[in-house]
């Protein structure tokens, strides 16, 4: 049957999110890939389940104090062998504000790269890592986070707001859907079927 000839290459998008911003980015990545013809689903890293049957992975985490969330780092370490054997893309959700650079003139998307990135790059050779601007909603912060945010050094780099650039996030996801590492996936496959 024709259906059996269609090569399904599902992608698992896993994420660690403390206050929800990264979860929404991961869900948008999966939706955008699906709209581009690439089967994809988003799940928390803690509920990733069996990785067998996925042909590629996107792993994302919020960045706190320069680090990925522990469960995301543990996911990469625990599944290092599987991830190293498949195409993997990483993303981080971190910087806040509308300025692309910090007070020292450093590109915020570079300054916000998590400390684990060098280790991950060596361990699993991701095809890419992208830093996306994130969200700070004071109503969602815990007591310690609120106290930290009041410190003079933190105030300037932790403005309140939703700074996610959805067009940029969707463009990144479409790029993954079209990546040759996913075989004939994405829009090409839809075109071929129609
Ligand atoms: C206490 C605290 C520490 C943070 N530390 C960093 C950081 O080191 N680097 C960064 O880029 N963003 C930092 N952020 C911003 C968060 O990463 C950003 O708000 C992110 O989008 C939150 O994602 P989540 O809602 O999925 O948890 C920090 C935010 C808080 C409240």
Ligand 1 pocket test, pick from 18, 158, 164, 166 with the greatest ligand atom count within 8 Å of Cβ, gives 158
pLDDT in tens, 6-58: 555 699 999 999 999 999 999 999 999 999 999 999 999 999 999 999 999 99
Q: What pLDDT score does 103 carry?
A: 84
User: Which residue puts its alpha carbon closest to atom 1 of ligand 1?
Assistant: 145
User: Which residue, judged by its Cα, is nearest atom 15 of ligand 1?
Assistant: 94
Atom of ligand 1 nearest to the CA of 145: 1
Q: How many angstroms is it from 19 CA to the middle of ligand 1?
A: 9
Check residue 52 and give its pLDDT.
Answer: 92
Q: Whose CA is nearest to atom 12 of ligand 1?
A: 94
Q: 78 vs 5, which has greater pLDDT?
A: 78
Q: Which atom of ligand 1 is nearest to the CA of 19?
A: 25
User: What gap in Å lies between CA 135 and CA 113, rounded to an integer?
Assistant: 16
pTM to 2 decimals? 0.92
Handedness of CA 96, 92, 39, 33 (dihedral sign): positive
The 10s digit of each residue's pLDDT in 112-163 is: 999 999 999 999 999 999 999 999 999 999 999 999 888 888 888 899 999 9
Pair 156, 103: CB distance under 8 Å = yes
How confident is the model over 61-115, as pLDDT tens digits?
999 999 999 999 999 999 999 999 999 999 999 999 999 998 889 999 999 999 9
């Amino acid at each position: 049957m024709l259906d059996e000839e269609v090569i399904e290459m599902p992608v698992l998008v896993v994420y660690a999110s403390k206050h929800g911003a990264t979860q929404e980015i991961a869900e948008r990545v999966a939706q955008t890939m699906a709209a581009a013809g690439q089967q994809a689903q988003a799940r928390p890293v803690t509920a990733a389940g069996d990785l067998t049957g996925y042909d590629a992975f996107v792993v994302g985490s919020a960045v706190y104090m320069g680090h990925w969330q522990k469960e995301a780092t543990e996911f990469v370490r625990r599944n290092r062998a599987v991830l190293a054997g498949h195409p993997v893309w990483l993303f981080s959700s971190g910087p806040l504000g509308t300025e692309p650079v910090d007070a020292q003139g450093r590109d915020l998307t570079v300054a916000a790269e998590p400390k684990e990135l060098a280790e991950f790059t060596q361990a699993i050779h991701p095809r890419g890592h992208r830093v996306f601007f994130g969200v700070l909603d004071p109503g969602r912060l815990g007591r310690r986070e609120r106290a930290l945010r009041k410190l003079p050094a933190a105030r300037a780099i932790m403005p309140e707001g939703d700074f996610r650039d959805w067009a940029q996030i969707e463009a990144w996801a479409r790029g993954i859907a079209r990546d040759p590492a996913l075989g004939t996936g994405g829009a090409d496959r839809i075109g071929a079927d129609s």
